[in-house]
Amino acid sequence: MGLADGLSAFLEEQWGEPVEVSGLAASSAGARRANISFDANGRGLVATIMPTAAIQLNRISAEAEVRILARARGVPVPEIIGWSEDDKWVGGPFFVSERVEGETVPRQVLRLVDKEGIGERVAHQLGVAMAQLHTIRPDDAPADLLDLGPGNPAEMALKALSVSMKNLLEPRPTLTLANRWLTERLPDAPAQHALVHTDIRNGNLIVGADGLRAILDWEGARRSGDPMEDAAWVALRMWRFRNDDREIGGFAGVEPFAEGYGSRFDMERFRWWKVYGTFKWAIGLAGQAGQFLDGSFRNIVMAASGRRVVEMEWDLLMLMGRDG
């Protein structure tokens, strides 16, 4: 069965009426999964397809349920039309969602935001959306969502990274310093654990002339985390695309974002998670270089990652500051 036939057969079963699928186009080539834009009976839709269930983070069913839950809490998320983990429709697990028009490619998002003069609005909207998301308690999350367990999220996250750091090929004093900084300033468990998205950033957003329209890619959502983990991730320098002085996604400074988030915004935790996120990215890049060197992934992009660790080291030094 071809892709168009598979999607129309699936939607016919969902909708109980004949469905004509047309205008299939790959809308973005994610590294892990395909996003196919198409029309069905006059509706603009997107199919998100995993090539194989073996490489999923969250199962498609859990991701679909998280999207439905977040949308019900007022987070802008494209409406889910249906999902299936049966390979018979399109060759792998997938879900279908409504197509939301707007920009998703970071530099094009920033161009639009500059042209419309809506940087502060988008940052504020991100704060509001994230606060809505963090009203979801772990107990309300889908049963099989990824989970680190009930402990202190910061402690568990740092422990996992410290193990990865020990496996690096050579010592990097800046990373050792960051690890120590993070250990000495480890925050307590948050007063309220919340469901976290873990990858809200410029590049996983749909933005239109009126501002933020949708938050995408819920594949890495976790049942229980520190809300400031999400807040810090969107603020990392690598998602600013050269607008370095606009901390939130290259859109605006942290003020409109924090104002949108509300009274639960915690600057001290925010700062800890920024150092953590940058440290995590540095370890990830060094790990990619390691995979190149040990032969498990001989690709030049992986090799080049080894020379990008120093960017994260610079960011870490600036985040920690001379006075610690």
The residue ranges that bind other proteins (CB under 8 A) are 170-174, 176-177, 180, 237, 244-245, 247, 271, 274, 299-301, 303-304, 307-308, 310-311, 313-314, 317-324
Nearer to other proteins, 68 or 303 (CB): 303
The least distance separating other proteins from the CB of residue 142, rounded to whole angstroms, comes to 35
Residue 229 burial (10 A CB sphere; 0-12, 13-18, 19+): buried
Q: Find the distance separating the first CA and the last CA of the chain, reported in whole Å.
A: 60
Query: CA–CA distance from 216 to each of 75, 233, 236 (Å)?
Result: 11, 15, 18
The least distance separating other proteins from the CB of residue 29, rounded to whole angstroms, comes to 9
The least distance separating other proteins from the CB of residue 271, rounded to whole angstroms, comes to 8
Asked if 286 and 312 touch (Cβ cutoff 8 Å), the reply is no
The least distance separating other proteins from the CB of residue 312, rounded to whole angstroms, comes to 10
Sequence-ordered alpha helix ranges (H) in the chain: 3-15, 60-72, 106-116, 119-133, 153-166, 173-184, 227-233, 254-261, 267-293, 300-305, 309-320
Nearer to other proteins, 193 or 271 (CB): 271
Nearer to other proteins, 191 or 301 (CB): 301
Nearer to other proteins, 48 or 243 (CB): 243
Q: Check residue 119 and report its DSSP letter.
A: H
The least distance separating other proteins from the CB of residue 320, rounded to whole angstroms, comes to 7
Q: Report the distance separating Cα 190 and Cα 179, nearest Å.
A: 20
User: At 200, is the secondary structure helix, strand, or coil?
Assistant: coil
Nearer to other proteins, 127 or 142 (CB): 127
Nearer to other proteins, 209 or 310 (CB): 310
The least distance separating other proteins from the CB of residue 319, rounded to whole angstroms, comes to 6
Asked if 59 and 48 touch (Cβ cutoff 8 Å), the reply is no
